Amino acid sequence: MSEQHKHFKCPQCGGDLEFSPGATTQKCQYCEHEIVIPQSEAEIKELDFHQYLTQAMASEDLQEITVVTCRSCAAAITLDPNITSDECPYCASTLVVTGGSVKELKPKSLLPFKITKDEGLEAYKKWIKSLWFAPNKLKQFAKLNDKLAGIYIPYWTYDANTTTWYTGQRGEDYYVTEHYTTTVNGKTVSSTRQVRKTRWYHVSGVVWNSFDDILVLASKSLPKKHADNLEPWDLYNLEPYQDAFLSGFRTESYQVELEEGMDEAKIVMDETIRQAVKSDIGGDHQRINSTRSQYDNVKFKHILLPIWLSAYRFKSKIFRFLVNGRTGEVQGERPYSWIKITLTVLAVIAVITAIGYWFSASR
């Protein structure tokens, strides 16, 4: 599912204007005329999580979206006007438009692209060349492949104040003197040593934490591990949403619903909460028996983040390559050449065997 965004026409030649990464302008792809994107005066607001779940949102918070779904990977993205089929940037399968539309929460802010397509392609080729044990054909393929799609990916951010009640145990170390005997040069010798022991005390208490902009990927089309490794994102540079920033790029609508995203955010928060509990328990060792957290003042934002994406098929398998459209950070999936790995292992074994033989012969 995805929104059909507005298209902007060049006032000089009538061609399509596209957003220029790293700039605040739209540029015509035909006559290269540029138009400055006006600075938005809109305030980036966070919405009340519980209010959204229990009440209907105002019409200005919703958007009408059209279903454009990949039959292979279920990605949901935009297509250019009058295009009824294309190649899916997520899995390189044929993408076909299907009918129907629904309403969903529209994004209120985004980070515009800073990395250009050429810079993304260069990062892609450098990454391929740097791969150890990659098949030679893959590196040859990389020289020919120039498919790189700029996509705005949906994310949720969550804020919350938490109150956590816990029970646990605090361990405090102490030392005792232990007498023992050992044999030295055939004689029995008595000696002492200090042995560490731990006393455990039952404890309970409460800790408070405050969380800001816990980031959760709202797409199920990307490999989450690699998408998470694209962080950090400069969220302090978020821009109020404008269609002009999306011109020339595709977008994906969220597949992770708001409540599901909050469940993931709680997992992230839990790590910090547990550290706060351990700190509150104190002592030399801590055991957490139980926790119960209350989440107050929960706010959220629906945002779009820029990613350059390439999906390629290699020996019938699909591999994806991602570039952070702000920093140039590279993450990706890759195949391995088991022939190269086997030859390397055999070479290492041969070297170890030769070294062992040399040491034996030199004695």
Domain membership of residue 317 as a residue range: 17-166+203-332
Task: Confirm whether 174 is domain-assigned.
Answer: no
pLDDT for the residue 208 = 97
**Least trusted range by pLDDT, from 14-18, 137-141, 173-177, 353-357:** 137-141
Q: Please, how many CA atoms are within 13 Å of residue 100, restricted to the half-sphere of its CB?
A: 7
pLDDT for the residue 55 = 74
Does the pLDDT at position 154 exceed 90? yes
Q: How far apart are CA 68 and CA 107, in angstroms?
A: 18
Task: Confirm whether 12 is domain-assigned.
Answer: no
pLDDT for the residue 115 = 92
Task: Confirm whether 28 is domain-assigned.
Answer: yes
**Cα torsion angle, 352, 356, 361, 363, sign:** positive
Task: Confirm whether 192 is domain-assigned.
Answer: no
Task: Confirm whether 274 is domain-assigned.
Answer: yes
Strand 17-19 with 47-48, pairing: unpaired
Predicted confidence (pLDDT) per residue in 106-146, tens digit? 888 999 999 998 888 888 777 777 666 555 555 555 554 56
Task: Confirm whether 217 is domain-assigned.
Answer: yes
pTM of the model: 0.78
Task: Confirm whether 358 is domain-assigned.
Answer: no
**Closest C-alpha to 123, from 333, 325, 334:** 325
**Closest C-alpha to 46, from 110, 112, 109:** 109
pLDDT for the residue 230 = 92
Residue with the larger pLDDT of the pair 100 and 342 = 342
Predicted confidence (pLDDT) per residue in 260-289, tens digit? 999 999 999 999 999 999 999 999 999 999
**Least trusted range by pLDDT, from 256-270, 286-300, 313-327:** 313-327
116 to 54, 77, 195, 223: CA distances (angstroms): 42, 20, 63, 22
- What total number of domains does the chain contain? 1
pLDDT for the residue 337 = 47
Predicted confidence (pLDDT) per residue in 60-115, tens digit? 677 766 656 666 666 666 655 444 446 666 666 666 555 556 677 888 899 999 99
Task: Confirm whether 193 is domain-assigned.
Answer: no
